[in-house]
Structure 1
């Protein structure tokens, strides 16, 4: 549902859905699912704030970096999991790079797990 809401431009609904998914994953003991959903919720918060308050993106970037760290920790060592590999090497770095671009901040790839 969060991805559908994002595709239709309803970033607030997307943020809510990803936040709820993170909660459900946490309750189920799924650390990877919680980290992915939490990261997505934080990215949707950036998307939601981008238009009405673009100056907030820099402060939100700090939260996204922290969510990225939690995500990479949850994915650590999962070399046999295609979803984990995709998030570690594609999705997370692309979202982080995009947010840095929006914030006008230099991206240091040492923050991601590809480095």
Structure 2
């Protein structure tokens, strides 16, 4: 049996092997939200938000070729613009278009609603 020096503090605090209990000795409920879920599913629905930075875009049209349902090339300004229904496009296609943008002008963010 290994003895520890009484001068050293316990590594994990007192009763580290026991679950935390509330004032009445009952296990505390899990907090609401993602921290309390065991399956790891997101709470709420996330919708991608698509943006194109016109200052960075050089108008190569790669995004319009990869995702024609989400982007079009504006000939007058020479930049790519997202279409009104870009949020409904497949998230993988949007991510691929953002990844293949040579100047990284496309950002796809997940916004919870």
TM-score bracket, shorter-length normalisation: under 0.3
Per the normalisation by structure 1, the TM-score is 0.23
Per the normalisation by structure 2, the TM-score is 0.23
Bigger proportion of residues as strand: 2
Bigger proportion of residues as helix: 1
CA radius of gyration, larger in: 2
User: Larger RCO: Structure 1 or Structure 2 (Cα < 8 Å, ≥ 6 residues apart)?
Assistant: 2
